[in-house]
Structure 1
Amino acid sequence: MKILFDHQIFALQTYGGISRYFFELMTHLQNLNNVTVKNSILYSRNVYLDNRFPHYKYVNYENWLVPKYFKGKNRLLKICQEIGLAPNHNKEMDEFVFDELEKGKYDIFHPTYYNPYFLESVIKYKIPYVLTVHDLIHEKFPFYFDNIEQTKCDKQRTILNASRIIAISKSTKNDLVAYYNIPEDKIDVVYHGNSMVTQESLSYSKSREKYLLFVGNRSYYKNFFFFVESILPLFKDFPDLQLYAAGGGEFTLDELRNFRKLNIDSRVIHKSFGDDVSLMDLYKNAALFVFPSLYEGFGIPLLEAMVSGCPVVCSNTSSFPEIGGESVHYFDPTNSDSIEKAVREVFTNRELQTYLRESGLKNVSRFSWAKTAADSYQVYQKGLKYL
């Protein structure tokens, strides 16, 4: 079987869950018998790409024009690309996809995001395509995104024309059926894998530090500031307690002002990490990991924390119970008392911490990229019967 992946997400993300998913999927598919993988990644700034995909060129889009980000920079770049003042690598990669599809050498096409630029070609050359839907965040939180109507229109076209759909959780599958009225038998649930090694193979500190850990961006649906406000009683009762916010960019001026108003500006600390090892160190030395998001299609940080031996406290919404099982201490992310109570219970209970740590390590064994690749291959086989 010959599978062509496109470049979309690798042009959009320097790092992130979706590009990590496709990198791991392409890598592990190549380990299967009679599977050939090709992609259209000619230019990228993505950190996951390495010598397994040697033909791409690293492009730092942020350093175009001036090295610092400013509001409207991406729009200015797009305008300059349209009039020829800046290189349009996306257009070049789109053309590469058109040429590859026209050759008719591929059994399956797998786009990596929702831009439907390829639809005319796959229909013309009768090539089935499989689409992975990670979540319905655009549909559930439309007010958070710019140009949302165009995004939703593109996404809808790509979803409705797909030969088969991979949903990364049952929760996402249920959302797809509810929002788009797609037949359930057209959607296959294929879980993500775990990219990190188990904590037994790393140096491990049993004397964990007194910090809570939050990982990822702090956008609205991630519920970060509501979580911070909810645990103010813990900051009062435990003078040494700190909260580390890892990744997601430096704190904004508004965030810093809010921390000062709450008198916790010295206790909420931003942490950067350059690779998986640095991130794992943050997990394995934390008292516990808190995931207060209102909605997630899967929630890879759950697996990252579990494989690091870090107790997990998280929301009881969307995919969390499905992925976390009984290895997580849950709370209602819309109720501040519920959040504070759950975090306090784990933070002050060594036996509960040990249970969550041990059960988390068992739970994470359910997820592997090898299984993701094998299950995805079965979806591709179904896709071949579409035309």
Structure 2
Amino acid sequence: MKILFDHQIFSFQDYGGVSRIFYELASGIKKTNNEVIIEGRFSNNIFLPKLKKGVIPFLPNLKFPYKNYLVFYLNYFFGEKKVSQADYDLLHVTYFHPYFLNKLKGKPYVVTVYDMIHEIFSKDYKDLRNKTSVYKKEVVTKANQIIAISENTKKDLIKIYKIPADKINVVYLANPLDKITPTFVHGLPKKYILFVGSRIGYDNFEFFIKSISDILRKKKDIFLVCSGGEYFSEAEKNEFTKLGISNKVVYKNFVTDGQSAYIFKKAIIYITPTLYEGFGLQILEAFSMSCPVIASKVSSIPEVAGDAVYYIDPKNADSINESVEMMLKNEKLRSSLVKKGKTQLMRFSWDKTVKETLRVYEKAIAD
């Protein structure tokens, strides 16, 4: 098979989970008897130059609103236009913009759905009120086959879009930090709880920080490290001051996988108090770095994490607070969860992801 990945996610993301997934997929497919072509002439994505030559960065040292949308339209108008050339057996679209639908010339396509966050939470969080859900519905409902990254995502797809179950194929992801060696990161506290993510909306950060603020005030040697997302906003800094913890919360982002691995490895606990998760890649990352995990008992997390995490109710402040207190005090519990995490991690591999994805491609072509 000759498979084409379009440029969307490599335009929209400089670094992130979805582009990382397509990097792993493309790398794995290249090791098989199949051919993979990756579209994208212009990109600031860190993974794309590892997959193809001749990628042109777009103003890499400048940061301004909607920059990645400009990259998308650069590729749309002045890119390689491989979708319309139709020199492939199947297109795997990397995100949900429907620009390609009238260019397929009868070729089948597959789309991966990661979660249904926009559909479920847009009424609660205004930053989710955009065209994504409209575009997504059109692209997903017209696809020859759909990949869902968890049974929970498949269930939500059936419930919200009324898509036939036999058109949706569950293909699990794997550990992004597999075979990665931790690289030293300066400026980390000696003991810290780790939060990874954008800290907005359904990430539930505001509720979480209030829930553990007394622990941070009381335990002078324990800090909270936030990684990923943007630096703290003025509103966040004001909230930290109000809670009396402005000197106990540290922002430490990573540039490389090695740095990400180090931040996980040195944490006492990784906590994800999210209200919804499509899969939970960071949980696998924590498992791989021997970091015990506290996680919300919601959506796909029990499916992916099994009994290898300590579960919380993300809407219950006492549940969050008491779980963090217990994990900090109980070294035996932390060690037990680390061992269980290593066992749970063995359920997932990128080789398995690639093999199951190729089966979906074959199914789509045969339709």
Q: TM-score, normalised by structure 2?
A: 0.93
CA distance in 2, matches of 1:250, 1:45: 20
Whether the aligned pair in 2 keeps the contact of 1:212 and 1:244 (CA below 8 Å) is: yes
1:32 aligned residue? 32
| Distance 1:128-1:93 versus aligned 2 partners, 3 A rule | farther
Equivalent of 2:335 in 354, 359, 362: 354
Matched to 1:111, the amino acid is V
Q: 1:87 offset after TM fit, Å? A: 10
Aligned to 1:228, what secondary structure does the other structure show? helix
Q: 1:272 offset after TM fit, Å? A: 1.7
Q: 1:92 offset after TM fit, Å? A: 2.9
Q: 1:128 offset after TM fit, Å? A: 0.9
CA distance in 2, matches of 1:149, 1:116: 15
1:165 aligned residue? 146
| Distance 1:49-1:94 versus aligned 2 partners, 3 A rule | closer
Q: 1:278 offset after TM fit, Å? A: 1.0
Alignment of 1:311-322 (within 5 A): 311-322=292-303
1:89 aligned residue? 74
Task: Check if 1:43 corresponds to 2:25.
Answer: no
1:74 aligned residue? 66
Q: 1:95 offset after TM fit, Å? A: 6.3
Whether the aligned pair in 2 keeps the contact of 1:289 and 1:311 (CA below 8 Å) is: yes
Aligned to 1:15, what secondary structure does the other structure show? coil
Alignment of 1:208-287 (within 5 A): 209-287=190-268
For residues 203-245 of structure 1, the C-alpha deviation after alignment (integer angstroms, 9 at most, x for no partner) is: 99xxx94210011211111011111111123224322110000
Aligned to 1:354, what secondary structure does the other structure show? helix
Q: 1:107 offset after TM fit, Å? A: 1.3
1:7 aligned residue? 7
Aligned length: 362
| Distance 1:48-1:240 versus aligned 2 partners, 3 A rule | same
Aligned to 2:195, what secondary structure does the other structure show? strand
Aligned to 2:271, what secondary structure does the other structure show? strand
| Distance 1:146-1:284 versus aligned 2 partners, 3 A rule | closer
| Distance 1:114-1:233 versus aligned 2 partners, 3 A rule | same
Aligned to 1:57, what secondary structure does the other structure show? coil
2:56 aligned residue? 57
Whether the aligned pair in 2 keeps the contact of 1:43 and 1:58 (CA below 8 Å) is: yes
| Distance 1:22-1:87 versus aligned 2 partners, 3 A rule | closer
Task: Check if 1:142 corresponds to 2:122.
Answer: yes
| Distance 1:238-1:51 versus aligned 2 partners, 3 A rule | closer
| Distance 1:185-1:348 versus aligned 2 partners, 3 A rule | same
For residues 48-84 of structure 1, the C-alpha deviation after alignment (integer angstroms, 9 at most, x for no partner) is: 22343113222236x5xxx343xxx429x97xx7xxx
1:100 aligned residue? 85
Q: 1:136 offset after TM fit, Å? A: 0.7
Whether the aligned pair in 2 keeps the contact of 1:6 and 1:40 (CA below 8 Å) is: yes
CA distance in 1, matches of 2:163, 2:136: 14
CA distance in 1, matches of 2:178, 2:26: 19
CA distance in 2, matches of 1:298, 1:264: 31
Whether the aligned pair in 2 keeps the contact of 1:7 and 1:93 (CA below 8 Å) is: no
For residues 262-301 of structure 1, the C-alpha deviation after alignment (integer angstroms, 9 at most, x for no partner) is: 0000001111211111111111111110011111111111
Whether the aligned pair in 2 keeps the contact of 1:41 and 1:93 (CA below 8 Å) is: no
CA distance in 1, matches of 2:308, 2:365: 38
Task: Check if 1:132 corresponds to 2:112.
Answer: yes
Aligned to 2:131, what secondary structure does the other structure show? helix
Aligned to 1:44, what secondary structure does the other structure show? coil
| Distance 1:133-1:88 versus aligned 2 partners, 3 A rule | closer
CA distance in 2, matches of 1:74, 1:350: 46
**Runs of 5+ unmatched residues, structure 1:** none
Whether the aligned pair in 1 keeps the contact of 2:199 and 2:229 (CA below 8 Å) is: yes
RMSD: 2.3
| Distance 1:93-1:166 versus aligned 2 partners, 3 A rule | farther
Matched to 1:134, the amino acid is Y
Matched to 1:91, the amino acid is Y
1:377 aligned residue? 358
Whether the aligned pair in 1 keeps the contact of 2:40 and 2:79 (CA below 8 Å) is: no
CA distance in 1, matches of 2:72, 2:174: 35
CA distance in 2, matches of 1:87, 1:116: 13
Whether the aligned pair in 2 keeps the contact of 1:138 and 1:145 (CA below 8 Å) is: no
CA distance in 2, matches of 1:6, 1:93: 14
For residues 147-168 of structure 1, the C-alpha deviation after alignment (integer angstroms, 9 at most, x for no partner) is: 8363222111101000000000
Q: TM-score, normalised by structure 1?
A: 0.88
CA distance in 2, matches of 1:138, 1:94: 29
Matched to 2:340, the amino acid is S
Matched to 1:74, the amino acid is Y
CA distance in 2, matches of 1:339, 1:150: 34
**Runs of 5+ unmatched residues, structure 2:** none
For residues 114-168 of structure 1, the C-alpha deviation after alignment (integer angstroms, 9 at most, x for no partner) is: 011111222xx21111110011111011143558363222111101000000000
Aligned to 1:197, what secondary structure does the other structure show? coil
| Distance 1:7-1:203 versus aligned 2 partners, 3 A rule | closer
Aligned to 2:48, what secondary structure does the other structure show? coil
Whether the aligned pair in 2 keeps the contact of 1:193 and 1:369 (CA below 8 Å) is: yes
CA distance in 1, matches of 2:310, 2:15: 28
Aligned to 2:261, what secondary structure does the other structure show? helix
